[in-house]
Structure 1
Amino acid sequence: MSAITVLGIGNVLWADEGFGVRCVEALQQRWAFDETQGVPVQLVDGGTQGLYLIQHVQAARKLLIFDAIDYGIEPGTLKLIENDEVPRFMGAKKMSLHQTGFQEVLMLAQLTEQYPDEVLLIGCQPQELEDYGGSLRPIVKTAMEDALALGLDRLRQWGARPVPRDAAPGDDEAVTVPTLALGAYEQGRPAAEQACRVGDERFIPSR
């Protein structure tokens, strides 16, 4: 079993829906984990994979989840949900199809009695979701920094030893597809006044 799994879920193509994936991406870019003096940590870009994430949940003793969650509060606000409350909360506060699928993952892990000893969900209230091809709004991108600090604090409590990276990870070890990494994604996005408001032309199939 993996000692700790850090899982970012969401869809980076729908603005603030990508919050969870962007957190895991930033965590990997800035930090490495010293497994000689700390417990192993696995970083996973869960995207919208749904039930395909079951193996990662079943293999984890500690599970840290980053996600955009509709709490019905001010955009950019963070809220922490822990342990048994996580699957119940995600079932009651569905925001998108990926959350429905991930609730099923958690319930299946419980059913198979291969469930983490501890689970922490760090969720952020989104500001904008209806912007296909858009990126994180400034208030959510700012909140991501606080979310990472909270996540690192919990990882240390769980026995991980994060150390600042001397260099960025190579493309072959990146948790996200390099062309969809935050910097490349935002640079390729047209200006708002030029963008197709029904979506990003980079992702609209040609007719």
Structure 2
Amino acid sequence: MADERILILGIGNILWADEGFGVRTVEHLDATYAFPDTVSLLDGGTQGLYLLPHLEDADTVIILDAVDYGLPPATLHVVRDEDVPVALSARKVSLHQTGFQEVLALLRLRGRAPRRLVLVGVQPHTLDDYGGGLTEGVAAQVAPAADHVVGLLRAEFNVDPRPRAASAPDILAPAVTRAAYEAGRPSAEEACRIGDARVLARGAGA
């Protein structure tokens, strides 16, 4: 198992609040741990079919994402193997999940599907806040989700990620790291988040 090629993949859109959970958890893992060469971390964002080459080379794929399980907000839930595409298709929170389902289907068609799939998902609280960061409850699940991934690697793959002596994340561009992104958001007064105020004013007077 130590030679297993493992891909840890965060998917989702950081522009839409809790939908960025998967990417933020991979960012946290990258900042907190150093991984052996057999383990790759990837910000998959909303790339869909562009992820195909990365998954073709993996024996195991661990996916991190915001998933509508129908559970209370901020609940972590883990599913495996054949249950993964079922969970992603049951209640889509975003078009990126449709794209990722296509990737999984193509991998099976080409005979290149990973031997094992694990989905570590969180039930989102808010998805329609454009430019927003993670909500408080979902943000609090980033570290536990990362801990679950590390525990899985140690227990099932004989892979022991080592804590970094100093934080040195490089999986995301500096401008879109969680700290910079959330700190740089304009106030609601500076950036109307419900539409163009001029259009809304005109509509109200019509």
Rounded to whole Å, the distance in 1 between the matches of 2:147 and 2:188 is: 31
Question: Which string of whole-angstrom CA distances, capped at 9 and with x for unpartnered residues, describes residues 125-170 of structure 1?
Answer: 0001111100000100001121111111112222322000012226
CA distance in 1, matches of 2:153, 2:188: 38
Percent identity over the alignment?
48
Alignment of 1:181-200 (within 5 A): 181-192=177-188, 194-198=190-194
In structure 1, the residue matched to 2:16 is: 14
Q: 1:23 aligns with which of 22, 25, 45?
A: 25
1:9-158 matches, cutoff 5 A: 9-35=11-37, 40-156=38-154, 157-158=156-157
What is the Cα deviation at residue 88 of structure 1?
2.4
Q: Which has the larger radius of gyration?
A: 2
Determine if contact 1:82/1:121 at 8 Å carries over to the other structure: yes
1:198, 1:2 → 2: CA distance?
47
Asked whether the 8 Å contact 1:2–1:42 carries over to 2, the reply is no
Q: 93-102 or 160-169: which moved more?
A: 160-169
Which residue number in structure 2 is paired with residue 160 of structure 1? Answer: 159
RMSD: 1.6
Mapped partners of 1:70, 1:194: distance in 2: 32
- How far is 1:34 from its partner? 3.7
Is contact 1:68–1:124 with CA below 8 Å preserved after alignment? Answer: yes
Runs of 4+ in 1 over 6 A off after TM superposition: none
Distance 2:114 2:157 in 1: 12
| Residues 76 and 123, structure 2, Cα contact 8 Å, conserved in 1 | yes
Contact 1:132 1:198 in 2 (8 A): no
Q: Which amino acid aligns with 1:139?
A: G
| Between 189-198 and 24-33, the greater mean CA deviation after superposition | 189-198
| Aligned residues of 2:28 and 2:142 also touching (Cα < 8 A) | no
Residue of structure 1 in register with 2:171 after alignment: 175
Cα displacement (A) at 1:178:
1.4
Q: Distance between the aligned counterparts of 1:163 and 1:193, measured in 2? A: 44
SS in 2 for 1:60: coil
Q: TM-score, normalised by structure 1?
A: 0.88
- CA-CA distance at 1:115 after TM superposition: 1.2
Distance 1:2 1:180 in 2: 31
| Alpha-carbon separation, structure 1, partners of 2:151 and 2:158 | 10
Give the length in aligned residue pairs. Answer: 192
Q: Which runs of 5+ in 2 are unaligned?
A: 196-206
Matched position secondary structure for 1:8: strand
TM-score normalised per structure 2 = 0.88
